[in-house]
Amino acid sequence: MKWTQSFIRTLREAPREAEAASHKLMLRAGLVRRLSAGLYTYLPLGLRVIRKVEDIVRQEMNKKWAQELLMPTLQPREIWEQSGRWDDKELGMLKLKNREEREFVLGPTHEEIITDLVSKEVRSYKELPLNLYQIQTKFRDEMRPRFGMIRAREFIMKDAYSFDVDEGSARKSYQDMSEAYSNIFRRCGLKTQVVEADPGAMGGSKSEEFIALADTGEDIIVSCPQCPYAANLESAGRGEEEPGKSQEKIKPLEEIETPNIKTIKELKDFLGERPEKMIKTLIYSADGKTVAALISGNEEISEVKLRKNLKCENLQMADEKLIEEVTGGPLGFSGPVGLKKIKIIADGGVTKIINGITGANKKDKHIKNVNIGRDYSPDEVADISYVREGDKCPKCEGALAMRRGIEVGHIFNLGRRYSQSLGAKFLDEKGQERPAIMGCYGIGITRTVAAIIEQNHDENGIMWPMSISPYQVHIILLNVNSTETVEVADNLYKQLTREGVEVILDDRDERAGVKFNDADLIGIPLRLTISPKRVAEKKVEIKRRRDGKEFLVDIEQAVEKLEELIQEGG
């Protein structure tokens, strides 16, 4: 491609709306343009990268015997009612009606559609296992799209779905995908970490996220420096701490006046006590049952961990009415003392609080010197708070560390949830009908591109890994008025193209500085500079974007040298 004939548009300055490095660079290098919040046009240069990532994904999926298909984006309401997810709040479904008032959703994911398909097509265990995938545009009506490609309303995703006859086979399918994902991200030049995660809206038993480490990432991952343990913040666990021996003497219970003091912060300011002394009491409704969760005032509850502990599907904070009903006191004054009607589950940290402060279940009253065992007894002690930096690893003695990252892939073992509700059943060897065991596996393609940039850029621009770079070689022609130089550039361009090398030739009548800066910005791994000065010596220059290493070679050797560098991966 010659620059003067291409639709490459670079920007000297980033639009003000862009914050993240990848977002700024994608706009500046002319990979994408914004249409509206979270909606982007992929320009030719950006699309080339997307296609390369997709190709890697296809190759690795096909290696695991997954087969590609393509499903509709517009999906009728009925099928989502069957799976029970029509009213799901977590998926951010964009719903719409046609002229006949029929309701549809723009697919945020495709479990329903694939399961319906398989239920109609698969009859026998002999047809399993099966893994089907697609690469397609997904819609999520994000409340707040941000960071450009990292959280968009419309994005390209690869989603795969596996169907197996039994748990053993399903484990193999899951393992295959895990391997495929590692290969895909490695080939894209991304450093990822696999973490334990919460299946959330997808349901199912096991799930892991592939996180690309990046400071601008939205996800916080917790990992142990001494063992392989890693999890996302929501579901990370901690090891049991040694019970600290406190010298503090247990004091008698005392009711105190706390007019209109409802939050831990207000209580801290009012009493001058440390939050560590306070027992936060949160009332939840879990699948219809009411429970009280106790957390130390300086900790935050992880609803993911609580839900996991309670083994419930639907977990919501109780409203004021329910709180009054079960505690006898208004919102903001709940406490475990005297709570009889409901299950009490205490975070591990709470059990260490001696002479604690908590709500009295009466308006404008708290009680102090509350002690476990004497004043209240939780039905269960569990780990339900967010871990913090330095907490003990649940698997070893290490101290947990935290890092930020971007979730680029997520794999789930779904079990029978969808196959049951949507009737994806088969006949086993004994002629018995059984629902298939499913797994689903997603990769955010566009987000992966953003993550690659987050991990591969410097102050001047992008540094594409060779495997997904839009072009492999960027020829810079200095001085378009020198006939001889132009001739050399044209010849090399033709030769390289003939050899199958993807090359872009900057043939604009621009100053050297402009061309060099644009080359750094769009980040092609190898730069070939052809100038009158060097041509006079029968030489050309090759420079590697990644480390700035330069090679001065004879014109006749340029193609060979470039091919060698491409083989090395730029």
Main-chain phi, psi angles of 248, to 5 degrees: -65, 135
Shortest Å distance, C-beta 32 to RNA: 12
Q: How does DSSP assign 319-337, residue by residue?
A: PHHHHHHHHSS-TT---ST
Return the residue of 90, 266, 276, 560 that touches RNA, per CB under 7 A. Answer: 90
Nearer to RNA, 392 or 527 (CB): 527
Return the residue of 99, 144, 249, 321 that touches RNA, per CB under 7 A. Answer: 144
Shortest Å distance, C-beta 547 to RNA: 13
Return the residue of 15, 84, 225, 390 that touches RNA, per CB under 7 A. Answer: 15
Q: Binding marks (x or -) toward RNA, 147..166, rule CB under 7 A?
A: x---x---x-x---------
Cα-based angle 181, 462, 520 (whole degrees, multiple of 5): 150
Cα-based angle 85, 88, 89 (whole degrees, multiple of 5): 165
Shortest Å distance, C-beta 302 to RNA: 10
Q: Binding marks (x or -) toward RNA, 199..218, rule CB under 7 A?
A: -xxx---------------x
C-alpha 462: how far from chain center:
22
Measure the CA–CA gap between 158 and 68, rounded to whole angstroms. Answer: 10
Single out the residue of 458, 448, 449, 486 nearest to residue 544, CA to CA: 458
Residues making up the chain, counted from first to last = 570
Q: Binding marks (x or -) toward RNA, 379..408, rule CB under 7 A?
A: ----------------------------xx
Return the residue of 5, 87, 101, 143 that touches RNA, per CB under 7 A. Answer: 143
Return the residue of 54, 303, 428, 490 that touches RNA, per CB under 7 A. Answer: 303
Return the residue of 246, 514, 564, 569 that touches RNA, per CB under 7 A. Answer: 514
Return the residue of 242, 429, 509, 556 that touches RNA, per CB under 7 A. Answer: 509
Return the residue of 58, 64, 146, 365 that touches RNA, per CB under 7 A. Answer: 146
Return the residue of 265, 511, 538, 549 that touches RNA, per CB under 7 A. Answer: 511
Shortest Å distance, C-beta 460 to RNA: 6
Measure the CA–CA gap between 481 and 246, rounded to whole angstroms. Answer: 84
Nearer to RNA, 20 or 400 (CB): 20
Return all residues near 348 (Cβ < 8 A) that are at least 6 apart. 238, 240, 241, 381, 382, 383, 385
Nearer to RNA, 137 or 226 (CB): 137
Measure the CA–CA gap between 308 and 234, rounded to whole angstroms. Answer: 11
> Which range, of 136-144, 172-180, 286-294, 561-569, touches RNA by CB under 7 A?
136-144
Return all residues near 456 (Cβ < 8 A) that are at least 6 apart. 189, 462, 463, 464, 465, 523
Nearer to RNA, 91 or 323 (CB): 91
Should residue 70 be labelled a site residue for RNA when binding is judged by CB under 7 A? Answer: no
Please say whether the dihedral angle defined by the alpha carbons of residues 325, 326, 332 and 334, taken in this order, is positive or negative: positive
Shortest Å distance, C-beta 146 to RNA: 4
Nearer to RNA, 15 or 228 (CB): 15
> Which range, of 173-181, 414-422, 529-537, 562-570, touches RNA by CB under 7 A?
529-537
Cβ pair 440, 207 in contact under 8 A? no
Single out the residue of 411, 398, 356, 346 nearest to residue 171, CA to CA: 411
Instruction: Report how many residues bind RNA under the rule CB under 7 A.
Output: 67
Shortest Å distance, C-beta 198 to RNA: 7
Strand residues in 91-165 grouped as ranges (E)? 94-97, 103-106, 130-139, 154-164
Main-chain phi, psi angles of 514, to 5 degrees: -60, -45
Q: What is the DSSP letter of 97?
A: E
Nearer to RNA, 155 or 493 (CB): 155
Cβ pair 490, 437 in contact under 8 A? no
Shortest Å distance, C-beta 144 to RNA: 4
Shortest Å distance, C-beta 272 to RNA: 26
Give the other-Cβ count within 10 Å of 242's Cβ. 6
Nearer to RNA, 332 or 444 (CB): 444
First-to-final CA distance of the chain: 20
Nearer to RNA, 178 or 517 (CB): 517
Measure the CA–CA gap between 301 and 349, rounded to whole angstroms. Answer: 11
Should residue 340 be labelled a site residue for RNA when binding is judged by CB under 7 A? Answer: no
Q: How does DSSP assign 129-146, residue by residue?
A: SEEEEEEEEEE---SS-B
Nearer to RNA, 185 or 376 (CB): 185
Nearer to RNA, 177 or 337 (CB): 177
Return the residue of 81, 127, 324, 541 that touches RNA, per CB under 7 A. Answer: 541
Q: Binding marks (x or -) toward RNA, 421..460, rule CB under 7 A?
A: ---------------------xxx--x------------x
Nearer to RNA, 197 or 372 (CB): 197
Task: Write b or e for each residue in 248-273: b if 16 or more Cβ atoms lie within 10 A of its Cβ, otherwise e.
Answer: eeeeeeeeeebeebeebeebbeebeb
Give the other-Cβ count within 10 Å of 550's Cβ. 11
> Which range, of 8-16, 54-62, 74-82, 323-331, touches RNA by CB under 7 A?
8-16
Measure the CA–CA gap between 479 and 213, rounded to whole angstroms. Answer: 42
Q: State how far the alpha carbon of 336 is from the alpha carbons of 279, 315, 367, 467, in Å.
A: 9, 20, 10, 59
Should residue 479 be labelled a site residue for RNA when binding is judged by CB under 7 A? Answer: yes
- Rule CB under 7 A: which residues touch RNA? 10-17, 19-20, 34, 36-38, 89-92, 109, 140, 143-147, 151, 155, 157, 198, 200-202, 218-219, 303, 407-410, 442-444, 447, 460, 478-481, 509-514, 516-521, 529, 531-534, 541, 543
